[in-house]
Amino acid sequence: MSLHEPDYELDGFEPADEEHEQHHDHLDISSLKVLGEHRTDTDSYFVLLDEGATWGIPGSPQLRAVHVSRDLSARTFEIDSKELPLYAMAQSYLIARGCPSDALSPQEGVHDPADDVTRALEARVRGDGDHFALLASYTADMREPVETVVMLRSLDPQAVPEFRILRERSTGTPTPTP
């Protein structure tokens, strides 16, 4: 399966301000590949893989959630994005910005949960992502299996347990396990 570079569909549009122009420039690199996307007339949502992250800061997240909002009458755009360590976290980020919850399923073979437990955990992260703060993550990708470890803290002061540790393991096939 081949991944393609994102098309933000911004021909004929100008950035709404300098900040969005700089943000667009940072996302206009060939190492970003589309894992999942959803489009409407005014909005585009992407989960991108940064294939160059391996050669950057060790342990950095390799995924980027991107929301592009276009003002059709003013012909301007705004871009919002965030590096995140897990696909379900990227989905949660985009759902919070208006993406339909069922619209960003990855292509078959890109990110297939290994079992029902993993599917349930990903659904929880995707649906309750705004209830947790990302404290730290580390992606170890220089050997097989690739592992990502994430530390979350509940934003609810009454939550027990307060902290959650998630581990995603990819065995060379696109099927992560918890």
Each residue of 83-104: pLDDT tens digit?
999 999 999 999 999 999 889 8
Q: What is the pLDDT of residue 178?
A: 53
Q: What is the DSSP string of the chain?
A: ----------TT-EESSHHHHHHHHHH--TTEEEEEEEE-SSEEEEEEEETTGGGSSTB---EEEEEEEEETTTTEEEEEEEEESSHHHHHHHHHTTT--TTS-PPPTTTS--SSHHHHHHHHHHHHHGGGEEEEEEEEE-SSSSEEEEEEEEESSTT-SSSEEEEEEEE-SSS--B-
- pLDDT at position 174 is 47
pLDDT reading at 176 higher than 70: no
pLDDT score for 105: 80
Per-residue pLDDT tens digits for 51-68: 988 888 889 999 999 999
Mean pLDDT score, 70-76: 97
Does residue 136 form part of some domain?
A: yes
Tell whether the model's pLDDT for residue 177 goes beyond 70.
Answer: no
Reading the block at residue 86, the tokens are 């897990």
pLDDT score at 46: 96
Q: Does residue 86 sit within a domain? A: yes
Confirm whether 5 is domain-assigned: no
Q: Is residue 9 part of a domain?
A: no
Instruction: Name the domain count of the chain.
Output: 1
- The answer to whether residue 45 is domain-embedded is yes
Domain membership of residue 144 (yes or no) is yes
Average pLDDT, the chain: 88
Residue 46 lies in a domain: yes
Token pair 């399923």: residue: 105
Q: Which domain holds residue 59?
A: 14-170
| Sequence-separated (6 or more) residues with CB below 8 Å from residue 25 | none
Percentage of the chain lying above the pLDDT 70 cut: 94
- Chain center to CA of 155: 21
Q: Please check the confidence at residue 8 and state whether its pLDDT lies above 90.
A: yes
| Residues in a beta bridge with 50 | 32
The answer to whether position 178 is within a domain reads: no
